[in-house]
A = this chain, B = another copy of it.
Amino acid sequence: MAEKVTIADVARYANVSRQTVSNVLNSPEVVREETRRRVREAVRVLGYRASQAARQMRTGRSRLIAARIEPAQQDGINGSVFDRFLHGLTESAARAGYRVLLYTADDHDAELATFDDLLGVYVPDAFVLTSTDYGDPRAAWLLEQRIPFVTFGRPWGVPPDQKYPWVDVDGAAGTATATRHLLAAGHRRIAFLGWPEGSGVGDDRRSGWARTLAEAGIGPDELSELDHRTEDGVPEGAAAVTALLAAGRPVTAVVCVSDSLAIGALQAGGDVAVIGFDDTPVARAVGLTSVSQPLGEAAARCVALLTDMLDGDAARRRSHGDAAPPDDDTGAPANTSVNQGAGARGPSRTTTSGDSPAHVLLEPTLVHRRSA
């Protein structure tokens, strides 16, 4: 294995000074064409790659994005959602010249401590937060420290003076689509199996169902009769549907806030149509129709938002050395301006109302299987 090739080696080989090499890498336009060629050739021949540590010492940028890896939560069924997001994040980050650094934390306090630790030692350039919800202190902390971050998830119940960029999937749109699908199939008695009130994500998903039924002429009374709340879990879902079926006017279909509840609903038997949320592996396994989040896209948008903050206007300078030989412009949708109008790019809305930070709301899709 070749010993470490430094910028000095390249300079020597190309008969230029170290600075010129650095310039070729970081500000090519300032170097004469022919010199540039010679240096690039030297880089290629020697297999030179800039040391991130050395670069970080000068620039202060680590090209690291920190993300928490969550333990398998609850029954683990919904865990795969986060994992798929994380995979997309790693992929998009790499395209943009960043790497993902993992950390764990059992609760918010531990996480803040980890932030502090990480920032003192590895100094990630940014954080990606997931599973944000009411009373989450993490965003405020990062905001105060002026550390760049994005959340995957809207700022539920966050004080209006706390503004930060986020990416999310429109849960209400998802359940609305699911409900319309059931209406179109002839169902009228369509229940909603949701979590107890107070969860941003859960309430949002409920609203799409409620709105759609209301539009279809279902009155408020019947609506609340069809609205069922329970903790997440397979047995909970089964119990809920059993109850729903035993009611005076039984339901014929159920829209669920999660695949866990939906699996339970399916197990309860009866002849109800069931639609879940998140399109987890279980859904496919048991043939459950489910609302699917575009997680890869969401991750890519998170990275795009971050690079917009981090690379600033220098973003176009292709500043991450030569690690990516093909000067592809086919990379991540990093150039998706945060100022684009609504719907400029597929089923999503990127907004920059006034001076508030950019955010992206993505549309989920319904994956049809035999359960509905």
Interface residues of A in 215-242 (CB under 8 A from B): 234
Given contacts A53-B62, A121-B52, are A86 and B69 in contact (CB under 8 A)? yes
In the complex, residue of chain B having the shortest beta-carbon distance to the beta carbon of A5: B120
| Cβ distance A69 to chain B, nearest Cβ, rounded Å | 5
Q: A75 near B120 (CB under 8 angstroms)?
A: no
Q: A75 near B121 (CB under 8 angstroms)?
A: no
Q: Mark A274-294, 1 if CB is under 8 A from B, else 0.
A: 000000111011100000000
| Cβ distance A111 to chain B, nearest Cβ, rounded Å | 12
Q: A122 near B146 (CB under 8 angstroms)?
A: no
Q: B281 near A77 (CB under 8 angstroms)?
A: yes
Identify A47's interface contact among B52, B99, B102, B120, CB under 8 A. B120
CA distance in complex: A189, B84 (Å): 40
Interface residues of A in 1-36 (CB under 8 A from B): 1
User: Does A134 interact with chain B (Cβ within 8 Å)?
Assistant: no
Identify A102's interface contact among B57, B62, B99, B281, CB under 8 A. B99
Q: Mark A37-79, 1 if CB is under 8 A from B, else 0.
A: 0000000000101111110110000101000011110011101
User: Does A112 interact with chain B (Cβ within 8 Å)?
Assistant: no
Identify A75's interface contact among B83, B87, B281, CB under 8 A. B281
Q: B53 near A57 (CB under 8 angstroms)?
A: yes
List chain B residues, Cβ under 8 A from A51.
57, 121, 123
CA distance in complex: A285, B284 (Å): 13
List chain B residues, Cβ under 8 A from A84.
71-72
CA distance in complex: A285, B1 (Å): 50
CA distance in complex: A77, B51 (Å): 39
List chain B residues, Cβ under 8 A from A76.
80, 280-281, 284
User: Does A362 interact with chain B (Cβ within 8 Å)?
Assistant: no
Q: B103 near A101 (CB under 8 angstroms)?
A: no
Identify A80's interface contact among B1, B83, B123, CB under 8 A. B83
Interface residues of A in 72-112 (CB under 8 A from B): 72, 75-77, 79-80, 83-84, 86-87, 90-91, 94, 99-104
| Cβ distance A82 to chain B, nearest Cβ, rounded Å | 8
User: Does A323 interact with chain B (Cβ within 8 Å)?
Assistant: yes
Q: A75 near B285 (CB under 8 angstroms)?
A: yes
Identify A285's interface contact among B49, B52, B99, B263, CB under 8 A. B263
Identify A284's interface contact among B47, B75, B83, B121, CB under 8 A. B75
List chain B residues, Cβ under 8 A from A130.
none
Q: A49 near B79 (CB under 8 angstroms)?
A: no
Interface residues of A in 264-319 (CB under 8 A from B): 267, 280-282, 284-286
Instruction: Give me 13 other A-B pairs in contact (C-beta within 8 A), A53-B53, A75-B284, A99-B103 excluded.
Output: A49-B120, A49-B121, A50-B121, A69-B86, A72-B83, A76-B281, A77-B285, A90-B103, A99-B122, A117-B323, A121-B321, A260-B285, A286-B286
Question: Could you jot down 14 A-B contacts, CB within 8 Å?
Answer: A1-B146, A47-B120, A49-B120, A51-B123, A52-B53, A53-B56, A70-B87, A72-B84, A72-B281, A76-B284, A87-B104, A90-B103, A234-B284, A281-B282
8 pairs of A and B residues whose beta carbons are closest in the complex: A49-B120, A76-B281, A53-B56, A100-B102, A90-B102, A77-B281, A53-B53, A83-B83
Contacts from A to B (Cβ < 8 Å): 1, 47, 49-54, 56-57, 62, 64, 69-72, 75-77, 79-80, 83-84, 86-87, 90-91, 94, 99-104, 117-118, 120-123, 144-146, 234, 260, 263, 267, 280-282, 284-286, 321, 323
